[in-house]
Structure 1
């Protein structure tokens, strides 16, 4: 894995999003959990692309 992907400014938000997803998803059905996970990971990808300048 390239060292660029292991930078703390990328890893920490991803871990925090996963923790938030777990916290919110505890009372949701499985389909709602999957939808929430898909939206969350799409937001993560958008944030990373914007921070990197669409390279």
Structure 2
């Protein structure tokens, strides 16, 4: 596996995007579309949190 892929996996582990170090051995595996969508929805929630204004 290429070093750049390992670095991405290690960063994802450190940031809590993945929580199992065994995923570092599976970085070339396919991922289901629903999993990609779930990650994108979680990212959007962090970037654009739902809140109500006090105004």
**TM-score, normalised on structure 1?**
0.37
- Per the normalisation by structure 2, the TM-score is 0.37
